[in-house]
């Protein structure tokens, strides 16, 4: 059975609605976004030609605060995918108990085929087309797939130029030099490991010396591997889009990153065996961290997973059937909407710093991140224990329930 991001997101909402005995009208409201904006982005390329790219921004629900969500540059992006991701962001913010609603945006573009100057023009044009729907109290973008701190600096500058004064709080994930927060880049990966630490206590898993495999060695995967190594775990396997590497006695994530930056791949790292991404998923380890693409753990390989714990650093790496299979096998799965909410939590910290014109030291950011992630995990775990369910069901019930309760309290205008 083929799963789309939207079909999975709606199925998860249905599950939460059923468990919560949600009012049918509120269920219907939450099943579709409040606003979807589609734009055509025309720019002049470096060679003088004009090209046009499709852009989108979807705003799901903002009853708990302004919309919040990343902007991705990806050639295969679809409106349904962005709708699904905006919905997941709504639940993610509610689970982390931060005052945001979910949004997501993107441009259908292969960023690797454009120059830096062309990407800047795309970004500025895109922002100018949706600027009326953005703002520090309306919708605050952030980096996502194939966008970064530089992209967010362009977003901030474009918004500020159009408003006539500097507005650093209009976007998060910026460079530190222009109002970005310490610790924002590594927050998603570090947040995953904070959840792993909490879950390990519940399944009596000693993390010192525990073997960890990380699929995906981008920003999130690298920082998750690094944070795992810092607490004494043994990172035995990592991979990127070209394939992976395995070493039974452990890898140094920083050295692997240096190798990847020089060669373009993690493969070929010294004293390692090259493996495929599929082999990494099935590697013998205590903790498996899928930090790459969706639908990596499916009904065809769920029975081959050897890990005691799966921590979803990526969005949607496990299909619903595989989810059930892992649960039946007694494998602890930390769902994406809990495991990877460290990024939006750190974005919230950046927004608060910008609004108050403060700048927090890294130690404070990391301490507050651990506090937030620990509390989120405890809330989800407590609800899943009460419901005798897996963590994903508990997380969905918590996130959807908090948003539904906000709608009930506010009412419907007019």
Contact predicate 174/168, CB 8 Å: yes
Partnered with residue 107 across adjacent β-strands are 55, 73
Q: Which is nearest to 226 in space by CA: 273, 275, 193?
A: 193
Q: Which is nearest to 353 in space by CA: 178, 97, 141, 152?
A: 178
Sheet holding 234-240, edge to edge: 273-275, 243-246, 234-240, 211-215, 287-290, 309-311, 332-334
Catalytic member of 68, 104, 174, 234? 104
- List of residues 6+ apart from 89 with CB closer than 8 A: 60, 68, 69, 100, 101, 102, 103, 104, 344
Phi, psi (degrees; rounded to nearest 5) at 383: -70, -40
Burial 170-181 (b: 16+ CB within 10 A, else e): bbbbbeeebbbb
Residue 304: CB atoms within 10 A of its CB come to: 12
Question: Does the annotation mark 368 as catalytic?
Answer: no
Q: What residues act catalytically? A: 104
């Amino acid at each position: 059975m083929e799963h789309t991001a939207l079909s999975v997101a709606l199925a998860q909402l249905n599950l939460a609605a059923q468990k919560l005995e949600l009012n049918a009208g509120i269920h219907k409201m939450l099943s579709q976004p409040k606003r979807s904006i589609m734009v055509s982005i025309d720019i002049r390329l470096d060679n003088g030609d004009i090209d046009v790219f499709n852009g989108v921004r979807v705003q799901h629900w903002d009853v708990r605060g302004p919309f919040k969500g990343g902007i991705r540059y990806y050639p295969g992006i679809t409106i349904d995918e962005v709708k699904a991701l905006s919905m997941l962001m709504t639940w993610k913010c509610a689970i982390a108990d931060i005052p945001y609603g979910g949004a997501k945006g993107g441009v259908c573009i292969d960023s690797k085929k454009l120059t830096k100057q062309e990407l800047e023009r795309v970004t500025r044009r895109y922002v100018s087309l949706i600027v009326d729907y953005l703002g520090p109290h309306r919708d605050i973008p952030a980096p996502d797939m194939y966008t970064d701190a530089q992209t967010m600096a362009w977003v901030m500058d474009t918004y500020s130029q159009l408003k006539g004064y500097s507005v650093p709080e209009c976007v998060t994930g910026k460079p530190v030099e222009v109002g970005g927060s310490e610790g924002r880049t590594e927050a998603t990966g570090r947040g995953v490991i904070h959840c792993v630490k909490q879950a390990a206590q519940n399944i009596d898993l000693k993390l010192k010396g525990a073997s960890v495999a990380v699929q995906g060695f981008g920003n999130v995967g690298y920082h998750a591997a690094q944070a795992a190594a810092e607490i004494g775990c043994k990172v035995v396997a990592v991979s990127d889009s070209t394939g992976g590497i395995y070493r039974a006695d452990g890898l140094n994530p920083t050295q692997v990153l240096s190798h990847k930056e020089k060669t373009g791949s993690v493969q070929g790292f010294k004293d390692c065996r090259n493996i495929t991404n599929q082999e990494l998923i099935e590697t013998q380890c205590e903790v498996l961290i899928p930090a790459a693409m969706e639908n990596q753990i499916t009904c065809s390989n769920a029975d081959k997973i050897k890990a005691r714990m799966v921590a979803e650093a990526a969005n949607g790496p496990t299909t619903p059937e595989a989810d059930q299979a892992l649960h039946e096998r007694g494998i602890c799965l930390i769902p994406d909407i809990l495991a990877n909410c460290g990024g939006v939590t750190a974005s919230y910290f950046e927004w608060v710093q910008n609004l108050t014109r403060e700048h927090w030291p890294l130690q404070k950011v990391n301490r507050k991140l651990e506090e937030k992630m620990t509390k989120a995990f405890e809330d989800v775990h407590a609800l899943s224990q009460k419901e005798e369910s897996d963590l994903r069901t508990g997380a969905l019930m918590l996130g959807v329930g908090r948003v539904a309760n906000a709608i009930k309290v506010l009412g419907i205008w007019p």
